[in-house]
Chains A and B, each alone.
Chain A
Amino acid sequence: MNLEAFERFAVSYEPGEIIFCEYEPGDAFYLIQGGRVQISRIMGDIEKTLDVLQQGEIFGEMAILEEAPRSATASAIERVKCLEFNRANFEILMRGQPAIALRLLKLFTKRIYDQRRRFMILTLDDVQARVADVFLMLNEMQVNPAEEEMDERVFQTTQDDVAHWAGLSSEETRHVLNHFVSQRRLEVQKDQIIVKNINEFIRFVSSRRKQ
């Protein structure tokens, strides 16, 4: 992709430098041209990495919609070069580079889907169903044809991640997970959780969902 015409929008960051901070009002989004960018959130006393993005990827795109506070912190892992766009020069970019516009369009479809899926989890009243539905969501995200025929699924996830997606406290989540473990429906290991029978979870969740 030829982006030379956009050189005037280029910005650089040193390793460790913050590009934008969680809660900061946002008015720009970025296209990475070089170097990796870490997306993180501070939860309690730990900084949790949500994503690592690289060349060609877009971040901060929610700012196109409104100047809502940033929902995460973006910082440079190594020396990073980005193109920075705000709403004023956004249209110039889109007209000059429809490929970027298309990429944005795809990004939005993904975000909408993810948010809808998350919302589906949160509408479940039964906390056990909520936790089970988190695993169904993770299962949908990691399609692996080799696993398709089997009941067991391994997820590289932690109790805290599950709590985050389920919108439950760590204690509540641990309680539910322990309950599943005692029923031998689940195995909790250090950094992975094994669901013994994903199809049984699918049936369980759909039985708890309001029709």
Chain B
Amino acid sequence: MPRPMSFKANSVIYFRGDVSDKIYILKSGRISLNSNDIETGQEIHDYIQTGEFFGVKSAMGKYPREEDAVVLSTTTVIQFSVPEFEALVSQNTTLIMKMLKVFSNQLRRIHVKVSSLLAEEEHVDPEAGLFNIGQYYLGKKRYVQALHAFRRYLTYYPSGTFNQKANEFALKAEQFAQQYGAGKGPSIQGLDSSVGGTAAKPDTGRQMSDAAKQYYAAVSVFSQQKYAEALRSFKKIAEESADEEFRIKSLFEIGRCFFNLEQYDNCIKHFKSLIQRYPKLPELADALFHVGQSYNEKGDQEKAESFFQKILSMPGTSETVLRKVRRAMKAAS
């Protein structure tokens, strides 16, 4: 049961360092909580108002008291155990809300103090920080996590410093997640885990090739739905680049540009010749899907159907493409 207690001037209700589960409310009189500022060591006196609780944090958290509770004039307090205190405040949510605000304020203040002492070593601009998280996961081939981070980046910083790269990497993460799955796939070019941060590390062999740069720039244009412009860029890479990987990648993207430009005949022609030249194209199923969809758009459902059936019968087709095919077949029927 909560019980009233009386104290004479100059008595001490508790000392700093004491561990106790008692919480008090001041009914009448005057009390000062004396402590030392943790930063300067200066003595601090906090006077308790009538009706105010004290000793709450240390009792609830079972921590040593951080102050001496000194009685200044004849005083009456009511003493609660932690369960009694909890039962009381549960009936009074306004009181809890008030305390939460007080505590959160204290927490914020101490947080700021700690951060200021750690300032030199831990200061990372949140924008660069978030982008780096994406890069970290992408580097570890954890594509779903990387995609999440880059998408959040693009949501919060739509015109941010790393916007273009975040776009490219998000696309990569999405593509690799479907194509290879977590933990698999080739390493990704152009990651630089130290942008804007302090974790500077020697960076060797991570420079993006010119072909890669051009390719990802074009991918970015594509993702902005500027298909005609993307088409020109991909064509340029496909014709001029010395890097076969990006030449083939660009050839594939050219087909997608045709499709999105609604040039279905060009799309069909382009993918058919691409598949003839590179029968082992990594994106073979996706290429066939675009051919099927192009026939669909042209109203030739029979031909579309035959391409879709072919994809369904191919071993090792990714679940994403299969889903797209099934959806397209359902829509057509």
Contacts and interface: CB of A to CB of B under 8 A. Distances in A.
A95 to B, nearest CB: 5
A101 interface: yes
Interface string A107-121: 011111101101110
A198 B327 CA distance: 67
B152 interface: yes
Most buried by B among A21, A25, A42, A64: A21
Given A25-B126, A95-B93, A115 B111 contact: yes
A119 B113 contact: yes
B96 A105 contact: yes
Interface stretch (A65-73, A77-85, A176-184, A186-194): A65-73
Q: How large is the interface on A (under 10, 10 to 19, 20 to 34, 35 or more residues)?
A: 35 or more
B38 A113 contact: no
A103 B325 CA distance: 50
Contacts, number: 128
B129 A69 contact: yes
Interface residues of B, number: 52
Interface in A87-135: 91, 94-95, 98-99, 101-102, 104-106, 108-113, 115-116, 118-120, 122-123
A57 interface: no
Contacts of B39: 119, 123
A17 B147 CA distance: 10
A6 to B, nearest CB: 15
A62 B127 CA distance: 19
A18 B148 contact: yes
B177 to A, nearest CB: 11
A51 interface: no
Interface in A129-181: 167, 169
B44 interface: no
Nearest to B139: A45
Interface stretch (B102-110, B203-211, B250-258): B102-110
A210 interface: yes
Given A99-B90, A122-B117, A109 B103 contact: yes
A112 B145 contact: no
A173 to B, nearest CB: 12
B100 to A, nearest CB: 6
Given A21-B148, A42-B136, A119 B110 contact: yes
A123 B117 contact: yes
A207 interface: no
Given A25-B156, A94-B93, A122-B114, A18 B104 contact: no
Query: Would you list the 5 A-B pairs with minimal beta carbon distance, nearest first?
Result: A23-B129, A109-B61, A108-B103, A23-B130, A69-B126
Given A17-B144, A24-B152, A47-B140, 14 more contacts: A16-B144, A21-B130, A21-B133, A22-B130, A23-B133, A69-B129, A91-B97, A105-B100, A109-B61, A112-B57, A115-B114, A118-B114, A119-B113, A122-B117
